[in-house]
Structure 1
Amino acid sequence: MNEYQNFPLEPQPIVRKPSLHTVSMTELYDMAFPPRTPVIEGLLYSGTYLFAGSPKIGKSFFMSQLGYHVATGTPLWEYPVRQGSVLYLALEDDYGRLQGRLNQMFGVEAVDGLHFATKARTLADGLNGQLEEFLQCHPDTRLIIVDTLQKVREAGNENYSYSMDYQNITALKLFSDRNNVAILVVHHTRKMEASDSFDMISGTNGLLGAADGAFILQKKKRTDPTATMQIVGRDQQDQELTLAFHQERCVWELTRAEKPIIRKTVEPFILKIAGFMSGRGEWTGTASELIGLVPDIGMKANTLTRKLNVNVSSLFNDFGIVYIGNQRTSDRKTFTLLRKQEPETGDGMTMNDD
């Protein structure tokens, strides 16, 4: 008999597969994500935003104005607009009122890309499914307006909790992020004043906490012809605009912007790649091959790949170049640069001469 047979074995550690998925900084820089595209440069980007103001202040007029400018691609005041289809869920209106409002604002020049619905499901009953169906029929959609949040949030007690508010906006944000569209959710402000205007959004902080940004439209007095619009967001600079309401045309006009749009500086290597792609529709190769063709890029191959990964939005929004990275073959790691059909306007963006 083996003299060690009855000795207890040393316990072996149990190795479990980690339930928490993590990404290292190195792995993160090796990823390429879809570009964040502006709907209105400096004001509105893809994502989910709140638009809050007191009742009857002119929110619905501004929503119609916004939808019209995006559908036609015409600049809103001094801000360039990226053209695309618009879905306006005017859930507190009827079609007759919408017709009269649009005629007063824009005359009878119809716009095919601006679509309206006066009834929709709630978030709990399948609103996202309805929005998916609309995008399948209109894949060029850039903006969805939900007027108002109260009409689509889950039915129940009027005293909404932080978690419920957060959940409602998160459901819309997941949709906007997945489909690279902007969703603008119209909501009300409460009567109680606050030192921070965004604390006046009706409901809990869960609404703003889950959203990508917010717009607050305010007047000092209801009879004032002017209003201020304050804007905060993850993808744009904080801004305050002074607006005047045109009584005859029922449109909002910009009278003053607190500060000009700060445009991000384009990195020099992006300019060199844009020059390389001038006259080319498509190019596929490795980072080393591109450096050989554009030697004054002035960086190593692995650095160039990471720089391209983190500048996907700049390539697309500023120069209309689609970057498709991480294409692996048996012995090569390649990427593709694909120029859009409208390189001068950046996929439909109406740009200033500069």
Structure 2
Amino acid sequence: MDSSHRVAYIDGKTLMEKIVMPAEFIIEDLLGKGLHILAGAPKVGKSWMVLWFCLQIAKGEPIWGMPVKQGEVLYLALEDHENRLQERIILLGDDAPASLHFSFSYPTLGNGLEEEIEKFLRAYPQTVLVVIDTLQMIRSNIFEYGYAADYKDMAGLKEITKKYQIAILLVHHLRKDETGDVFQRISGTVGIQGAADSCFTLVEDKRGSGKALLSCIGRDIAYREISLRRTENQIWELTEDSIEEKEKDLLPEKIAELMEGRFFFEAPPTEFAELLRDSYRIDVSHLTLLKRLDQNRHALKKLGFSFQSRKSNGTRYIKIFRIEEEIGTVGTAETGA
């Protein structure tokens, strides 16, 4: 038994009263911190897509209208070379910024890859994304098959995402056989999908059509289908999104009004909901108030607020607070990543 591994426990009451921030995204509501898979058939345009992602994130420019977290980016283009990458960047219509880094040769998993990535991350601490194109190029146990081998290969990379709070996107392949569930076509066992925080599949309507469907599923994102069209500059352009524009929830803005001149506000759910209904014209039940707040974590954070639910002497309280004030008192809050 490995006695060096420390096991930690947390009780339900402490967990529910803990201050946590929402999961952080590199591409808002699409690609969060963690380990991700982008799978598609050969030559479908996966490498064009991730190269464009890298350029947009390094420049801080939106992807399909979604804001990105700008930072350093590392792209391991292991099936390409300098000439091809330069030609592709020119065709995409842009120069590559100095914050986007490339490598065309890298060690394999378990043979120095993890150490090299960590060395890069220490040299460039503002890194937000590492793209590995392709997963097969970094796998060393080519004769070792099965769920355990697949999960083991993913585990080291996933630990790096946790340690450095970044996203790693692995470019991978789809099997040719067609099933009802496109995610079942991701090459390898479900160990690969099981270790990933989200999976994306890029499937063309018809080979060479320039039209494709990006299917998205993950722990921190809603299931989503994004219809795309490839332009003459090889940029995948959004044509339709399965997530329709929802009616804006005014709760975060009303919370901001409530918090004017306050560092925090605390009340039982019944009194809180009554105040919101009577003074701020927000139709909310005390039974669903906590759920509504949870659904609006990101919007509240953008306004500088978060919330906490706790019990005192048998009574439930909901507390709204200014993030900088509360964190300055109790230390760094944990994210949901």
TM-score by length of 1: 0.71
Match of 2:64 among 77, 83, 101: 77
Match of 1:254 among 224, 238, 241: 238
SS class of match (1:80): coil
1:125 aligns with 2:111: yes
**83 and 317 in structure 1: CA distance in 2 versus 1, 3 angstrom threshold:** farther
CA apart distance, 1:201: 0.3
**317 and 177 in structure 1: CA distance in 2 versus 1, 3 angstrom threshold:** farther
Larger radius of gyration: 1
Q: Deviations over 1:287-307 (max 9, x none)?
A: xxx44xx5xx4359xx9xxx9
CA apart distance, 1:268: 7.3
Q: Tell whether the 8 Å contact from 1:85 to 1:113 is kept in structure 2 after alignment.
A: yes
User: How many residues of Structure 1 are paired with residues of Structure 2 in the alignment?
Assistant: 285
Match of 1:225 among 210, 218, 238: 210
1:141 aligns with 2:127: yes
SS class of match (1:242): strand
The equivalent of 2:311 in structure 1 is none
Aligned partners of 1:125 and 1:274: how far apart in 2?
Answer: 53
**5+ residue gaps, structure 1:** 1-18, 278-289, 324-334, 340-354
**5+ residue gaps, structure 2:** 1-5, 273-289, 308-320, 326-337
Aligned partners of 2:104 and 2:225: how far apart in 1?
Answer: 31
The equivalent of 1:163 in structure 2 is 148
Pairwise mapping of residues 1-354 of structure 1 onto structure 2 (< 5 A)? 21-33=8-20, 35-107=22-94, 109-157=95-143, 160-247=145-232, 249-260=233-244, 271=256, 275=260, 290-291=263-264, 297-299=266-268, 314=298, 317-319=301-303, 337-338=323-324
Aligned partners of 2:207 and 2:80: how far apart in 1?
Answer: 22
Structure 2: which amino acid aligns with 1:132?
E
Q: Tell whether the 8 Å contact from 1:32 to 1:312 is kept in structure 2 after alignment.
A: no
Structure 2: which amino acid aligns with 1:22?
Y
CA apart distance, 1:36: 2.1
SS class of match (1:199): helix
TM-score by length of 2: 0.75
The equivalent of 1:281 in structure 2 is none
**322 and 299 in structure 1: CA distance in 2 versus 1, 3 angstrom threshold:** closer
Structure 2: which amino acid aligns with 1:298?
A
CA apart distance, 1:218: 0.3
Structure 1: which amino acid aligns with 2:175?
R
Aligned partners of 1:56 and 1:257: how far apart in 2?
Answer: 23
CA apart distance, 1:197: 0.3
Aligned partners of 2:132 and 2:200: how far apart in 1?
Answer: 14
The equivalent of 1:287 in structure 2 is none
CA apart distance, 1:125: 1.3
CA apart distance, 1:260: 2.7
**25 and 254 in structure 1: CA distance in 2 versus 1, 3 angstrom threshold:** same
Aligned partners of 1:172 and 1:273: how far apart in 2?
Answer: 43
SS class of match (1:96): helix
Q: Deviations over 1:262-281 (max 9, x none)?
A: 6996657963687558xxxx
Name the % identity.
Answer: 34
Structure 2: which amino acid aligns with 1:146?
I
CA apart distance, 1:30: 4.2
**41 and 193 in structure 1: CA distance in 2 versus 1, 3 angstrom threshold:** same
